[in-house]
Amino acid sequence: MSTRLFGEAVPRREDPRLLTGQGRYLDDLGPGALAAAFVRSPHAHARIRDIDVSAALDVEGLVAVYTWEDLPERVGRPLPLLIPHPALTHGRTARPLARDVVRHVGEPVVMVVAADRYLAEDACALIEVDYEVLEPVAGLEEAARGARLVHDDVPGNVGAHLVQEVPSAAGRSAGEAIDAAPHTLSFRLDIERSASMPLEGRGVYARWDGADLRVYSSTQTSTSVRMAVAAALELPLPRVEVIAPDVGGGFGVKIVHPWPEELLVPWAAMLLGREVKWAEDRREHFVAAAHERGQVHRVRVGFDDDGRVLGLDVSILHDHGAYTPYGIIVPIVTSTQLLGPYKIGAYRVEFTAVYTNTVQVTPYRGAGRPQGVFCMERTMDKIARHLGKDRTEVRAANLIQPDEFPYDQGMTFQDGRPLVYDSGDYPEMLRLVKELIGWDSFERAPGRGIGIGCYVEGTGVGPYEGGHVQITSDGRVHVSTGLTSQGQGHETVFAQIAATELGVPIERVSVVTGDTRRFGYAVGTFASRAAVMSGNAIALACAEVRRKALRVAAAALEADPADLTVTDGLVHVVGAPSASIPLGTVAVLANPLRYAFDEETARATQFAGVAAPDRPPVAPGEEPGLEGRGYYSPIRSTFAAGMHAAVVETDPETAEIKIVRYAVVHDCGRLINPMIVEGQIHGGVAQGIGGALYERMAYDADGQLLNASFMDFLMPYATEIPAVETGHLETPSPLNPLGIKGAGEAGVIPVSAVIASAVEDAEGVNIDRMPLSPSDLFHLREGA
Amino acid sequence: MTAEHEITLVVNGAARRARVPGRRLLSDCLRHDLGLTGTHVGCEHGVCGCCTVLLDGEPVRSCLTLAVTVDGREITTVEGLAGPGGLSPVQRAFAECHALQCGFCTPGFLCTVTALLRERPAPTDEEIREGISGNLCRCTGYQNIVKAVHRAAELLAEES
C-alpha cells in the first residue's frame, strides 16, 4: 500500500467529533466551575473616583468581587508589551483591572465570581462605579492633532514612528525619483476598522489543586500564555499547564496574551481553591478584545510612460486604539508588504502609530497586509488610468521576474530579518488569473466592471516550532506540536506529514496541538506559519524516529539499516517484504524492560535474550523508546503570493454592489492538502468581502461603539458571498525541507483592492475608501 | 431568589428533567443543565445561528428561547442527528465536502440544513443560500457548505 499522503485531499480527522457535538470548546469544559463576569467601563475615557460594591454583596451565589486594589503587585501591574520595538518609544499596555483611568469602553474594572454566569451578571449590575468622565480622543486624525491625550505621558498620542527608505539602483531617494519622474500622482486612502470576530469568543477556565495549576484558554498560543501566567502568579513553570481545547476560530485576535482574564481567572481559582471559568459574550468581544485595519495613507508616486514605478512615498497614520500589547507589527507589515510582487524604483514609507480611546488594535487575518495591498493596487490602477493603459499591463511592467529570486526588497520585515522573497512566478500567476476571469474578453458595460489585486505574503515567520513523535508498542504514532489550532485542520495535515515520512497508515497517527503537557516549546499560530513551521519540525522529528527504527530493526533482522525501509508500518529489507518487523515491535525492542505487561512486551524483558549480555541494555548515547523531537527554525520568512480578480455589477438606482464572479490564483508552494488550502482561501475571501463591503466599527465622537452586536456589525452570510473560483500555482520554497509556504491568511489580503478596482471600473468614480456601502457609492456618484 | 420551575424536555428522543429559573435560556439549559454542549452560543442575540436546534422538527434559536416555554416539547440537538447506523446524510456530506473548519457554527448549520432538506429535498443553489442565510460562518466562506447541502440532498435521495 502506498503511504503517499502528502499532497492529497485527505478527509479531516477533526470532523467526526465536531459534526456530532463532541468537540470540546472552552465553555464546554468545567461544568461545575464558578463563573466570572466583569464590570466594564461604559466610558471611552474616564477617571475612576470610587467603586461601591456593597449592593452586590447580597446577591445569592456571589463568591467574590475584586477590584484593582485587591490584586497582588505581579498581577495588577500593566500587562506585558509582547513585541518591543525600538521605534515604539511610547508603548503602553492596560492593567488587568483598571487602576485609576479607563481608556476605552469595555475596559475591565471589577471582576465578579459567582455560582453561575446569571448570578455573576446580577452582581455586576449592582456595582456602582463613580467616574469622572474625560474628553475622549475618538478619531484617527483627532488623535494625530494631539490636542487631547489618551495617555498623559504620551505627547501627541504618538506611540511609534518609523521610517524605512530604499533608494533606487542609481542611488536616488524616493522623493528625488518622484520629482524627476515623467508622471506623478498623489492621493489619500482610508481603510476602516474591522475585527477578527471568531464565532467563539475568548474564554479561560482554571483549576488549582493546591500545587498545580491547569489553565484552559481559547488561545492561539498556549505555551506563551503558560509562561505569562507562571510569571504573573509567581509559580514555577513546571507547575503550570495550559491547554488550548477546540477553539472556535481565532483569525488573530486570540494571539494576544495574556488577556486580563487569562491572569485574573487562574489567580481567582488559586485564591478561592475552586474552579473558575469565564466565557466571553459577544458584546464583550466587540468592546474588550481587539480590532484591526484602521489606517489613513497619503501616497505620492512617480512613474514612466510604461507605468513603471520610479519612486513611491507612502505616509501611514495607524490607529492603535488605547494600548499596544502586540507592538507595532501591524503597521510594520503594512509598510513592508505594501510592495507586493513589484520592484519599485525607490521607496520611502513612514508610519505614525497613534493612540485613540478605542479598543486596542492587534493583528486580524492579513495583519496589516490588506491595507498595504489596497494602497499599492490602488496606485497601480491610478497609474493605468492616468496613462490610459490596461491595468494588468501596468502591473506586468512592474513585476519581479522569475529569474530574479531570491529578491531583496531592501527592507526589514516584521521578524527583524531582511525582506527577501524566496521564490515565485508572478508573470505566470498574472497570466493564470487573467485567463481564469477572462480578463481580455471581458465586455464592459455601464454598471459592470472588472478588477484585480495582487499581493505577496511573508509566511512562516520564526523563531521556531517543534514536534515530538512517539511510536508505541501497539504501533500507533503519537505526534504533538506546541502551536495551537483554530480550525485549520492541523490534526489532518500533520498526520499526513507524519504518515508520509514514517511510512505508516494515517489511521495509526494521532496529533495533539496546543497542549503544554505534551509539548512545551512553541511560539503560536499566526502569520500563516503553522504548516511551514510545525509541518517541517514534525517531518524532522519523524526522520529521527525513522532512523532509530531502522537501526533497532536492523539488529533484529540482522540486516544493514541502509537496506531497510518502512511500508505500511512494517520495517523490511528493500525489495524483500517477507523479512519484516512491525514498528510496534521495534518500539518494544527499543525499550528494554524488566516487567512485561503483555506477550509483545515480554520480548523486551531481561531474560528474553534480546540484548547482548556484555553491553548495557541502553547503549551510550541512546535513549529508551522509539521517539524523537525535531525543531525547525528558518533563517527568514517564506513568501507566498496570490492574485485575485472579480467582476461586479452595480445597481444604477440603489447603488447596490453585487460580486458576479470571484477568481483566485494562489501559490503557497507545495500543497499538503489541497482541500484544506482551498477552504482557507474561501474563508479568507469571505472575510475580505466583509471588510470590503460591509464591516466597520462605528465609533461616535464620544468613543462609543455604536454597532457592537451582530445585528449592526454586518458580517456576510451565504447570500453575500459569491462562488469563488480557484487556481493553484506551486512554486516550492527553497527555504524548508518540505518546500511549503503558508496559506492561512492569504484569501483575505487583496479583496478590498480587488473590489475597489472592479467598482471603479464599473462606475468611473475614484474609490479611495473602504469599506464601500451602497450609501457610500451613492454619494460618490453624486459628487462625480 | 428567582423561582425555579420543574420542566421536562424530550431531547433527542429521551425525556430529560431540569429545574430552571424562569430566565434560563434553552441554550444554557441544554448545555449546562443537561450537559449537551454540542449546541453552541455565538452571540446570544439570535443573529449568528450557532445555537439553532430543532423544536418539534423546526429550527429555532435556543438562545432566544426560554427553557420554561418549551416544557414538554421535543428537541433535537446536534447530538441527536446521527442515527444508529452512524452519521446522518447531512453530517456525512459536511465531512465529505469540507464544509466545516473550526466547527463552532457547524451544529447550527447541521440542524438548519436537516430541516431545510426535509422541506425541500432538491434545493437550487439559490434556495440553499437563502435557506442557510440565518447562520453565520466565519471560516468557510460558505462555498463548501453550499456544496455539502447539494451533496446531502443526493445522499438523502439515494437512501429513500
Tens-digit pLDDT profile for residues B139-160: 999 999 999 999 999 999 998 8
* Of the partner residues B106, B130, B132, the one whose CB lies closest to the CB of residue A19: B106
Residue type, A221: T
Domain boundaries, chain B: 4-80, 89-159
Residue B126 binned pLDDT confidence (cut-offs 50, 70, 90):
very high
- Cβ–Cβ of A197/B130 closer than 8 Å? no
Residues of A in contact with B130 (CB under 8 A): 719
Per DSSP, what are the bridge partners of residue A96? none
Percent of chain A predicted with pLDDT > 70 = 99
- Report B:36-95 residues touching A (Cβ under 8 A): 36-45, 47-48, 50, 77-79, 81-82, 87, 91, 94-95
Residues of A in contact with B106 (CB under 8 A): 18-19
> Would you state the pLDDT for residue A1?
36
- Cβ–Cβ of B78/A21 closer than 8 Å? yes
Query: Measured between alpha carbons, how far is A640 from A429 in angstroms, rounded to an integer?
Result: 12
Of A477, A631, A460, A629, residue with least CA distance to A531 = A460
| Closest residue in chain B to residue A58, using alpha carbons only | B1
Paired sense of beta strands A295-303 and A309-319, if any: antiparallel
Confidence check: pLDDT of A25 > 50: yes
Q: What would the pLDDT profile of A248-257 be if each residue is shown by its tens digit?
A: 999 999 999 9
B32 in contact with A, Cβ within 8 Å: yes
- Cβ–Cβ of B37/A487 closer than 8 Å? no
* Of the partner residues A246, A721, A724, the one whose CB lies closest to the CB of residue B103: A246
Q: Is B145 left (phi over 0), alpha (psi -120 to 50) or beta?
A: alpha
Q: In 10 A of CB A240, how many CB atoms? A: 22
Residue A563 binned pLDDT confidence (cut-offs 50, 70, 90):
very high
- Cβ–Cβ of B95/A12 closer than 8 Å? yes
* Of the partner residues B77, B98, B142, the one whose CB lies closest to the CB of residue A12: B98
Beta strand segments in A393-532, E: 407-412, 418-421, 448-459, 465-471, 477-481, 509-513
DSSP state of A445: B
- Report A:746-765 residues touching B (Cβ under 8 A): 747
Q: What would the pLDDT profile of A523-556 be if each residue is shown by its tens digit?
A: 999 999 999 999 999 999 999 999 999 999 999 9
A174-206 b/e with 16+ CB inside 10 Å = b? bebbbeebeeebeeebebbbbbbbbbbbbbbbb
What is the total residue count of chain A? 784
Q: What would the pLDDT profile of B36-77 be if each residue is shown by its tens digit?
A: 999 999 999 999 999 999 999 999 999 999 999 999 999 999
Residues of B in contact with A116 (CB under 8 A): 32
- Measured in degrees and rounded to the nearest 5, phi and psi for residue A215 equal -120, 130
Domain A32-134+196-288, architecture per CATH: Alpha-Beta Complex (3.90)
Q: What class is the B4-80 domain? A: alpha beta
Residues of A in contact with B103 (CB under 8 A): 14-15, 18-19, 23, 246, 248, 487
* Mean pLDDT taken over chain B: 97
> Would you state the pLDDT for residue B1?
52
Confidence check: pLDDT of B119 > 90: yes
Query: Measured between alpha carbons, how far is A330 from A41 in angstroms, rounded to an integer?
Result: 26
* Of the partner residues B95, B105, B128, the one whose CB lies closest to the CB of residue A11: B95
Residue B94 binned pLDDT confidence (cut-offs 50, 70, 90):
very high
CATH superfamily, region B89-159: [2Fe-2S]-binding domain (1.10.150.120)
- Cβ–Cβ of A710/B43 closer than 8 Å? yes
Beta strand segments in A12-119, E: 34-40, 46-52, 62-66, 101-102, 108-114
| Closest residue in chain A to residue B93, using alpha carbons only | A19
B34 in contact with A, Cβ within 8 Å: no
Q: What would the pLDDT profile of A263-305 be if each residue is shown by its tens digit?
A: 999 999 999 999 999 999 999 999 999 999 999 999 999 999 9
Query: Measured between alpha carbons, how far is A125 from A343 in angstroms, rounded to an integer?
Result: 58
Do A159-195+291-462+635-783 and A463-632 agree at the fold level? yes
* Of the partner residues A22, A489, A718, the one whose CB lies closest to the CB of residue B145: A718
B149 in contact with A, Cβ within 8 Å: no
A203 in contact with B, Cβ within 8 Å: no
Q: What would the pLDDT profile of A477-520 be if each residue is shown by its tens digit?
A: 999 999 999 999 999 999 999 999 999 999 999 999 999 999 99
> Would you state the pLDDT for residue A2?
42
How close does chain A come to B140, measured CA to CA in Å?
4
Q: Give the H/E segment covering residue A120.
A: helix A117-126
- Cβ–Cβ of B40/A248 closer than 8 Å? yes
* Of the partner residues A18, A676, A711, the one whose CB lies closest to the CB of residue B45: A711
Query: Measured between alpha carbons, how far is A642 from A728 in angstroms, rounded to an integer?
Result: 9
Query: Measured between alpha carbons, how far is A761 from A565 in angstroms, rounded to an integer?
Result: 59
- Cβ–Cβ of B136/A11 closer than 8 Å? no
Confidence check: pLDDT of A3 > 50: no
- Cβ–Cβ of B98/A31 closer than 8 Å? no
- Cβ–Cβ of B95/A200 closer than 8 Å? no
- Cβ–Cβ of A198/B37 closer than 8 Å? no
- Cβ–Cβ of B102/A19 closer than 8 Å? no
- Cβ–Cβ of A27/B47 closer than 8 Å? no
Q: What is the CATH number of domain A463-632?
A: 3.30.365.10
Q: Give the Cα-Cα-Cα angle A175, A768, A693 (nearest 5 degrees).
A: 145
Of A250, A192, A140, residue with least CA distance to A530 = A250
Residues of A in contact with B81 (CB under 8 A): 20
- Cβ–Cβ of B79/A116 closer than 8 Å? no
Asked if the peptide bond before residue A238 counts as cis, ω within 30 degrees of 0, the response is no
Asked if A747 and A687 count as a contact pair (C-beta separation under 8 A), the reply is: yes
A32 in contact with B, Cβ within 8 Å: no
Query: Measured between alpha carbons, how far is A113 from A664 in angstroms, rounded to an integer?
Result: 49
> Would you state the pLDDT for residue B3?
87
Asked if A43 and A235 count as a contact pair (C-beta separation under 8 A), the reply is: no
Asked if the peptide bond before residue A406 counts as cis, ω within 30 degrees of 0, the response is yes
CA A79 to chain centre: 21
Distances (CA, A) of A528 to A217, A258, A454, A574, B99: 21, 21, 18, 38, 21
Asked if A754 and A644 count as a contact pair (C-beta separation under 8 A), the reply is: yes
Chain A / chain B CB contacts < 8 angstroms: 173
* Mean pLDDT taken over chain A: 96
How close does chain A come to B153, measured CA to CA in Å?
17
Asked if A162 and A90 count as a contact pair (C-beta separation under 8 A), the reply is: no
Residues of B in contact with A717 (CB under 8 A): 132-136, 142
Averaged pLDDT for residues A22-46: 98
> Would you state the pLDDT for residue A607?
83
Averaged pLDDT for residues A241-251: 98
Domain A159-195+291-462+635-783, architecture per CATH: 2-Layer Sandwich (3.30)
pTM beyond cutoff 0.95: yes
- Cβ–Cβ of A251/B138 closer than 8 Å? yes
Residues of A in contact with B76 (CB under 8 A): none
Domain boundaries, chain A: 32-134+196-288, 159-195+291-462+635-783, 463-632
Interface test with B, best of A14, A15, A19 (most B CBs within 10 A): A19
Distances (CA, A) of A298 to A18, A318, A378: 46, 12, 12
Interface test with A, best of B2, B98, B133 (most A CBs within 10 A): B98
Confidence check: pLDDT of A319 > 60: yes
A30 in contact with B, Cβ within 8 Å: no
Confidence check: pLDDT of A652 > 70: yes
Does residue A522 sit in helix, strand or coil? Answer: coil
B15 in contact with A, Cβ within 8 Å: no
Residue type, B30: L
A492 in contact with B, Cβ within 8 Å: no
Residue A4 binned pLDDT confidence (cut-offs 50, 70, 90):
low
Q: Give the Cα-Cα-Cα angle A721, A725, A728 (nearest 5 degrees).
A: 135
Asked if A258 and A230 count as a contact pair (C-beta separation under 8 A), the reply is: no
| Closest residue in chain B to residue A486, using alpha carbons only | B102
- Report A:664-723 residues touching B (Cβ under 8 A): 675-676, 678-680, 682-687, 709-711, 715, 717-719, 721, 723
